[in-house]
Amino acid sequence: MREVTTFRLGIAWAALCAALGLHILDEALTHFLSIYNPTVIAMRAKLGFDQNWGPPISLNSASCHSDDGKYQLLVPAS
């Protein structure tokens, strides 16, 4: 039973990867970004966002882990 479940999971991952590949191919062949990018730039300018996606967010931690090897959470600066 476990081999059938693993096989079905593999088929699902292969189908997901194929669908993503077809999606990217479709966008490349129809020049989707030549329409999308100017639209997003105009929307950002109208809504007052910076060149980054959405409002700017800064983080107040410079590293992801401390000297003792434990991970720290990166939190937005206040």
Q: How far apart are the first and last CA of the chain?
A: 52
Contacts of 44 (CB under 8 A, 6+ apart): 50, 51
- In DSSP notation, 52-74 reads SSSS---BS-S-SB-TTS-B---
pLDDT in tens, 47-72: 877 655 554 444 444 445 455 555 55
pLDDT in tens, 13-53: 999 999 999 999 999 899 888 888 888 878 878 887 765 55
Nearest one of 57, 73, 54 to 65, comparing CA atoms: 73
